[in-house]
Structure 1
Amino acid sequence: MSSLVTALEDTIVVEYGQFVVQEISMLRSPLALPDPVGDWVAVGGPGGLLLHSAATDHYPLVRLELWNDAPSTASGYWDHVLELTCDVQSAVRLQSVTAEHSDHTLSIEQPGAHHARVHVGNRDEAAELDEGTLESGIERWLIQLWPA
């Protein structure tokens, strides 16, 4: 039975329509991952997750969760829910594409490969934001991590 190990709620500035869940060491960066072709929401790999917002410049609400095993998909309305994998060491935090980072960290108990279930909501509302508005709390994200 899966149980929540730890969680944090945070926000970070989205720049150029993107932000990352980045391992603290920053020796590997999800910003180095290739953007998928077409409309995309997230990609995972060495160093964390690269996330694609529906708006260019704003502050989404983000909840990061670490689970000991696969959790249930979160209830509520989500525009997209997808599962992918990433590889992270020791701790992660939210970071902008120009390296502004959150002061809050999520400790990773078992370094290495992790599953990530990414939920995102309110994308239509976020897409209506003008470039450079820096609105807060429109788009919302839930990212659940657990060991692979």
Structure 2
Amino acid sequence: MTDRQLLAVVEDAMPRIEYRHFQLVDDGARVEAPDGWARSPQMVVAAGHGAILRTGGNDFYPLVRVEVWSAQPDPQDPSLWEVVEEVDLRSDSGSLLLREWDGGLVGDPLPVEHSGSYRLKAHCRGRAEAEALIGDELYYEGVEEWLLQLWPLDEVDCPE
């Protein structure tokens, strides 16, 4: 049985969304979008030392919660979330940044336990509702909600 602890949390972050995405990236690193990501159906993609998260809506502010755990957290109730996807990312700095589409910082840096490889599990709900508002409303808040959970991976489990 693993003794897991919630190490850090960002509550009620609201990144400004344009071009239907935001980022979670290692402090000091750049997001490197993989080839074809714009056409990919994935909600979250690994992008260098970070991840790009694709929203359902555009020109709005989703509600985002980020949690850093010491080990894999207990699963969420699947009925609470419409989409759940996972990717691996790496932190060399020991802190991560929640960034808007253009790289603008949202809140303070988020400390992670140590530098190394992490698993990101992204949960989202309200995507269809946010997408339905494209072209009708601008810069509304909420509607789409995210839970981002991170925990360290054993180096032997995550290839470089």
When normalised by structure 1's length, the TM-score is 0.89
Structure 1 residue ranges (4+ consecutive) displaced by more than 4 angstroms after TM superposition: none
Q: CA RMSD in A?
A: 1.7
Return the offset for 1:37.
Answer: 4.3
Matched, 1:79 2:78: no
Give yes or no for contact 2:8–2:112 (8 Å, CA) kept in 1. Answer: no
**What is residue 51 of structure 2 aligned with on the other side?**
49
Letter in 2 for 1:124: A
Matched, 1:117 2:121: yes
Structure 1, unmatched stretches of 5+, are none
Taking only the aligned residue pairs, the percentage that are identical comes to 27
Q: 2:66 and 2:47 mapped to 1: Cα distance?
A: 17
- Higher strand residue share: 1
Return the offset for 1:114.
Answer: 0.4
Structure 2, unmatched stretches of 5+, are 154-160
Alignment of 1:102-141 (within 5 A): 102-131=106-135, 133-141=138-146
3-state SS of 2:130 partner = helix
Matched, 1:145 2:150: yes
Q: 1:102 and 1:62 mapped to 2: Cα distance?
A: 10
**What is residue 100 of structure 1 aligned with on the other side?**
104
Q: 2:86 and 2:74 mapped to 1: Cα distance?
A: 12
Give yes or no for contact 1:11–1:59 (8 Å, CA) kept in 2. Answer: yes
Return the offset for 1:100.
Answer: 1.6
Q: 1:57 and 1:88 mapped to 2: Cα distance?
A: 29
Letter in 2 for 1:142: L
Letter in 1 for 2:34: L
